[in-house]
C-alpha cells in the first residue's frame, strides 16, 4: 500500500469513526430507523469490525515479527469460538422465543447451516483419525 493510499484510508477511517459515534449517539437518544436498514447496518458493521480486527492482529504480528500463519489460525479459532457461542444462544432462543419457519432470517440460516454442515463433514472426513482421538479424549 502506498503512503498516499494509506493516508486516504486513514482519513476515511477517521471520518467513519466520527460518523459512527454520531449514529451511536442518535440511536442511544431513541432514534428509530427503518428496521431493515438497521439490520443491514448491524451486519455490515459486524463484518467491518471483524475485518478490522483481523487486519489489526496481522499488523501487530508483523510489527512484532510473529508468524502470521499462527495469527490467522488464532483468528479462525476465535471465529469458531464466537460462532459456537452464538449458535448455542440461538438454540436457546429457538426453544424459548417461539421462532417459527416464517421468522425473518430462518430460511437463510437454514441454508447456511446446511452448507456449513457439508463443509464440516468434509473437514472431519479428511482428518477422521485425529478427530476421533479428540472426541474420545473430551469424553
- For the CA atoms of 62, 66, 70, 76, the dihedral, rounded to the nearest 10 degrees, stands at -40
pLDDT, one tens digit per residue, over 25-65 is 999 999 999 988 999 999 899 889 888 888 888 888 888 88
**pLDDT of the residue at 72:** 84
pLDDT, one tens digit per residue, over 91-105 is 888 888 777 888 888
Rounded distance between C-alpha atoms, residue 7 and residue 13, angstroms: 10
Amino acid at each position: 500500500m502506498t503512503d498516499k493510499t494509506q493516508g486516504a484510508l486513514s482519513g476515511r477511517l477517521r471520518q467513519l469513526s466520527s460518523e459512527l459515534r454520531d449514529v451511536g449517539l442518535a440511536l442511544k437518544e431513541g432514534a428509530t430507523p427503518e428496521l431493515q436498514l438497521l439490520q443491514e447496518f448491524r451486519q455490515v458493521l459486524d463484518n467491518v469490525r471483524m475485518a478490522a480486527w483481523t487486519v489489526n492482529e496481522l499488523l501487530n504480528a508483523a510489527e512484532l515479527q510473529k508468524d502470521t500463519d499462527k495469527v490467522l489460525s488464532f483468528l479462525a479459532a476465535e471465529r469458531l469460538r464466537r460462532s459456537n457461542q452464538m449458535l448455542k444462544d440461538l438454540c436457546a432462543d429457538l426453544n424459548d422465543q417461539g421462532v417459527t419457519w416464517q421468522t425473518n432470517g430462518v430460511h437463510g440460516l437454514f441454508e447456511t447451516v446446511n452448507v456449513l454442515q457439508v463443509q464440516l463433514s468434509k473437514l472431519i472426513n479428511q482428518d477422521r483419525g485425529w478427530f476421533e482421538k479428540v472426541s474420545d479424549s473430551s469424553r
